[in-house]
Amino acid sequence: MKFHGVLFFPVTPFAADGSLDEERLAQHIESGVAAGAGGVFVACGTGEFHALSTEEIERATRVAVQTTAGRVPVLAAAGGPTPVARDQAARVERAGADGILLLPPYLVSAPQQGLVRYVEEVIAATDLPVVFYQRGTARLSAETAAEIAALPGVVGFKDGIGDIERMHRIVRAVRAVPGTEDFQFFNGLPTAEMTAPAYQGIGVELYSSAVFAFAPEIALAFHRALAEDDDALVSRLLDEFYGPLVALRDEVPGYAVSLVKAGVTLRGLDVGGVRAPLIDPTPEHIARLAELLDHGLEVAAA
């Protein structure tokens, strides 16, 4: 399983009664794949993994698999308490996913060997390839990362911490392990475009783009500009769209998801609001998002 291009993390649409809206999820995923997504990561962070039942994760995965119809890889999330993560991994495999994004164990701070044990126990429940997501309670040393990378079935690391030195040490340690030539590293920070140039400098080329969920034109323009060393366009998009978007996002905890859902609705597909404990953006914030979106689209088109 090899990824290229912009990675798409769809939101999870909810109907008026709060239930999972499979039809709109299919529409949302189809739109992203048609726009040029390099892979679909369903029911993950942007998809409100924290607020979905295990059964809903399985249903969302099945919708993604059916909608993509083999055009791009589909990964879905598992994580939290070990028995729950094992159940989620088995369900995601049953739904036809191509892989799993393994989120951290729930709440507890574990020793490094405990994190290895967590990965071992979850991957034992599935034959699918696994990308391990370093964030929250899961902070790996370079040595632990190399040990996890050597486990059968672990094919990648996604970083959600943002410690460049730590990640550089991890990349170097993993690359020193024989047989990891195809191992993949992902920048998984919120609004990853802001840090994509820095991560590229340490050998982390792939990143997840929440912006792609509601403005694929902007996300693809940035990705092309970065790949082609178009520093002028990279700088303009960072200064005039991504930077102001991050400033708005940081005003309210949870807006890394809430603003994305609002953006999808602004672009014409009503995906509903977010589930607790997140809150929906205020009308003022939605208006600011709409202005940013319009300007970002103008910059991308130019």
Task: Write down all domains in the chain, each with its CATH number in brackets.
Answer: 7-228 (3.20.20.70)
At residue 180, the pLDDT reads 86
Catalytic one of 106, 118, 158, 242: 158
How many angstroms separate the CA atoms of 212 and 39, rounded? 11
At residue 207, the pLDDT reads 96
How many angstroms separate the CA atoms of 135 and 179, rounded? 25
Average pLDDT, integer, range 264-291: 98
Length of the chain: 302
Checking if the pLDDT of 106 tops 90, the result is no
At residue 179, the pLDDT reads 85
Three-state secondary structure string covering the chain = CCCCCCEECCCCCECCCCCECHHHHHHHHHHHHHHCCCEEEECCCCCCHHHCCHHHHHHHHHHHHHHHCCCCCEEEEECCCHHHHHHHHHHHHHCCCCEEEECCCCCCCCCHHHHHHHHHHHHCCCCCCEEEEECCCCCCCHHHHHHHHCCCCEEEEEECCCCHHHHHHHHHHHHCCCCCCCCEEEECCCCHHHCHHHHHHCCCCEEEECHHHCCHHHHHHHHHHHHCCCHHHHHHHHHHHHHHHHHHHCCCCCHHHHHHHHHHHHCCCCCCCCCCCCCCCCHHHHHHHHHHHHHHHHHHHC
Catalytic one of 2, 118, 133, 255: 133
At residue 107, the pLDDT reads 82
Average pLDDT, integer, range 207-213: 96
pLDDT tens for residues 86-98? 999 999 999 999 9
How many angstroms separate the CA atoms of 263 and 239, rounded? 19
Q: How confident is the model at residue 26 (pLDDT cuts 50, 70, 90)?
A: very high
Entry pTM: 0.95
At residue 133, the pLDDT reads 98
Checking if the pLDDT of 181 tops 90, the result is no
pLDDT tens for residues 34-51? 999 999 999 999 999 999
Average pLDDT, integer, range 126-150: 96
Average pLDDT, integer, range 244-272: 98
- Of 286, 283, 258, 253, give the one whose Cα is nearest residue 273: 258
Q: How confident is the model at residue 302 (pLDDT cuts 50, 70, 90)?
A: confident
Structure tokens at 81: 């308490």
How many angstroms separate the CA atoms of 212 and 125, rounded? 32
261 is catalytic: no
Checking if the pLDDT of 11 tops 90, the result is yes
133 is catalytic: yes
At residue 2, the pLDDT reads 83
How many angstroms separate the CA atoms of 287 and 218, rounded? 18
